[in-house]
Amino acid sequence: MIIKPLGLAACTLLVIVMGLRPAAAQDADPYQPLRESMVTWQLKARGISDSRVLAAMERVPRHRFVPERLASLAYGDHPLPIGSEQTISQPYIVALMTEWAQIKPGDKVLEVGTGSGYQAAVLAELTDRVWTIDIRPELAAKAAGTLKTLGYSQVQVKSGDGYLGWPEAAPFDAILVTAAASRMPPALPQQLREGGRLIIPLGPEGRVQTLTRFRKVQGKMQEEKNVPVSFVPLVEPPGTRD
């Protein structure tokens, strides 16, 4: 006899708790609706179709990777300054590079140009083996803090010259370079596994570059596709640029 009312009470409590959950989740992240429209209008509308990439872009709180005063602009269709004269890429470019990288769970991925850590977080949604390197120590340190705070503690962050890759962690299944190089840094293809993808903007500083995907096939780099882009320059060894 006593069991029935107790059971009812438990059910009622459960319904209340479940009923409250979506509202509570929205309170926790007021940017969720902006993120959803970013995915619909900037990514899907332009042809990003990999459901894992779209889900990653919908999950990662981009506003936490930009300076606080710019948080309300984080989901706009443009890059934003992140300090040290660097920028976080436009959401579409992050999604495109990620889709081109064809990352499966367990793949090893290197990002050259950590910046804010945003691209690394998107990659970390797809595999738990991500390495990212930035030549500017202040950016690497800040990104490492942001990634840790948000629970992406599996991402390995270091400050150093990514022109040389990360030989100790190689070979990688995918390498993404998020700064424009005048030509392919020779170490990067060497650190790519057979069948691996390398995505890099190539071209002159301050002008339009060509975001290119290469695949390593029988030890040779095969160009697969490209699109015009504009990135901040990769710091390269003296004499590399013409």
Among 49, 51, 72, 89, the active-site one is 89
Active site residue 84: no
For residue 128, the 8-state DSSP code is S
Closest residue by Cα to residue 157 from 106, 115, 98: 115
Residue 242 vs residues 90, 185, 222: alpha-carbon distances, Å:
28, 14, 24
Min dist CB 90 to ligand SAH, Å, is: 10
Amino acid sitting at position 121: A
| Dist CA 172 CA 214 (whole Å) | 13
| C-beta of residue 155 within 8 angstroms of C-beta of residue 136 | no
Per CB under 6 A, 188 contacts ligand SAH: no
| Sole window of 35-43, 203-211, 218-226, 232-240 interacting with ligand SAH (rule: CB under 6 A) | 232-240
Residues 83-142 that bind ligand SAH (CB under 6 A): 86-89, 112-113, 115-116, 118-119, 133-136, 139
| Dist CA 130 CA 101 (whole Å) | 13
Min dist CB 214 to ligand SAH, Å, is: 18
Q: Is 154 helix (H, G, I), strand (E, B) or coil?
A: coil
The residue (of 54 and 188) whose beta carbon lies closer to ligand SAH is: 188
Min dist CB 163 to ligand SAH, Å, is: 4
Per CB under 6 A, 57 contacts ligand SAH: no
Per CB under 6 A, 201 contacts ligand SAH: no
| C-beta of residue 82 within 8 angstroms of C-beta of residue 62 | no
Catalytic residue annotation: 89
